[in-house]
Amino acid sequence: MIECMTAFSAADFRKQFPILREMINGKPLVYLDNAASTQKPTSVIDCYQDYYKTSNANVHRASHALSAKATKAYEESRQQIKTFINAKSTKEIIWTKGSTESINLVAQSWGRDFLKANDEIVLSYGEHHANIVPWQIVAQQTGAKIKLLPLNDQGRIDITKISDVIGEKTRIVCCAHISNILGRINPVKEIIKYAKKYQALTLIDGAQAIAHLPVDVQALDCDFYLFSAHKMYGPTGVGVLYGKQQVLNDMSPYQAGGEMIKSVSFEHTTFNDLPHKFEAGTPNIAGIIAFGATLRFLENQQSVELMEYEQYLTQYCFTQLSQISGFKFIVKGQPDIPVFSFTLNGQHNHDVAAELDSLGIAVRSGHHCAMPLMQYLNIDGCIRLSLAAYNSIEEIDYVIEALRKITETTIAVKVPTMTHETANEQNNASNAEKNINALAVEDILSLFQHAKSWDSKHREIMMLGKKQARLEQSLKTQQSLISGCESSAWLYCQKQPSGNYYFSGDSDAKVIRGLIAIVLAAVNNKSAEQILAFNMQAYFDELGLLQHLSPSRGNGLNSIVSKIYQIVGA
């Protein structure tokens, strides 16, 4: 047993987050999607609400007491951020909607002014889409080129290959402080130092680092550093862009409107001083003031011991996950922060996430907004567990047991393959030999009536998916592909001489195959008029699907229906 030497009280810390007392699908919430967004403490929630109750007014622009009160709290948050990351001046702290907008601001405001044809933008293979796509857009606008830093086998930027990528044509180097999937701390200080040899600017995406590491932008000596409040126990819709004052002064405004101007006439406009030059329009005042409460909340914690506790969770979780049969981390070694990305042999990532969700466990599955990294690692996607300081050893044990059951529980079902020929045979099957593709609405309703809890209903969906006939490869075409499903899914249709339609479907994920079976029960061997007249929403409501399915599964379910409507309405 790994021992925790810290005096940090996770139990006391956890008590300050009211959502963690919620029940999900009849089970206590185990929230392990913190890399996507952290939960909020009561003090932050109260501060957000209190602004609207006692201080609601626009900032900077009015001459009344309420505006002065709001402006004071708003600018105090900026001062707190300056101190938190050790910036030289509040002029270097720009409020944005989040990390994504911060990167877009730099790409458009700096990139369009200073990049030219054949200049080089350096990224890494481990970047979030938000640190890729804005640079692709500005590269197309300016003629600049993108070069990529490779990763080592543990998922960190390979510092030994840096001289192969950064050189005389490099104008900016943009990389994550910590990858949102791999949980590794990149050697950003070395990268920044090397970029300076060529007078290249550096942008560090700190979205994942800010909640787990002390950040000192002067010590790093980067030109830009950015992060979002919602990943460090703060409100959504608030981001911070740090930029060196001289660099920001040389940049054009990103957006235009109120607040970012000094004077406006039809002949000429002059822009405001930093930081307001980049803050057009009414900002997220409530969120920014509540972010100040977040920083006060964190100041009241024992930061060193909190980080020690996170390391304890990281080591314990890594050790336990490593002992699961069929478990594979997507890169080697223990992560630097409690972010664990993996696959389970023989299990689709979405099926694992759906099974865990039925048990009240919130995790993330898919490509995690990092498709190029998935391609680089030669995988289609993965499952990610990401922990925060309010998580516990007991929660880890609960998840480990659930994952073990998923890998150990197999149901022997012989699944046929659907071909052009067998489609007609299955269509004509007798009720006595009813196959999964010939189920009727009444059969599905009967299954779900006996399943009282969502956990039981989820098992029925997975069983339907296990039994669903698989399409042969020749039927999995671009034409039969269902657009809008997060996992690959296909729908094959045959129109009978009677004018009725017969559908068969398939997906990489069992949960989607199960949802396909539910939909097909309502539409197979029906005319276009019957299909379009059937109240699909009422059917889903009676089954209790959409209120329990995750948003991505719900979107997948609706995409299946939309594909059918598209076919019969054509």
Catalytic residue positions, numbered = 369
The pair of structure tokens assigned to 182 is 């791999």
CB 137 within 8 A of CB 107: yes
The pair of structure tokens assigned to 279 is 């803050």
CB 190 within 8 A of CB 158: no
- CA 499 to each of CA 441, 536, 560: distance values in angstroms, whole numbers, following the listed order: 20, 21, 21
Q: Is 419 left (phi over 0), alpha (psi -120 to 50) or beta?
A: beta
Within a 10 A sphere around the Cβ of 331, how many other Cβ atoms?
21
How many helices (H) does the chain have, and how many strands (E)? 21, 21
Of 82, 428, 84, nearest in space to 233 by CA: 84
Of 13, 50, 66, nearest in space to 292 by CA: 50
CA gap 204, 193 in Å, rounded: 13
Of 333, 339, 365, nearest in space to 231 by CA: 339
b/e code 522-546 from CB counts within 10 Å (16+ = b): bbbbbebeebeeeebeebbeebebe
CA gap 22, 27 in Å, rounded: 9
- Amino acid letter for position 17: F
3-state SS of 543-562? HCCCCCCCHHHHHHHHHHHH
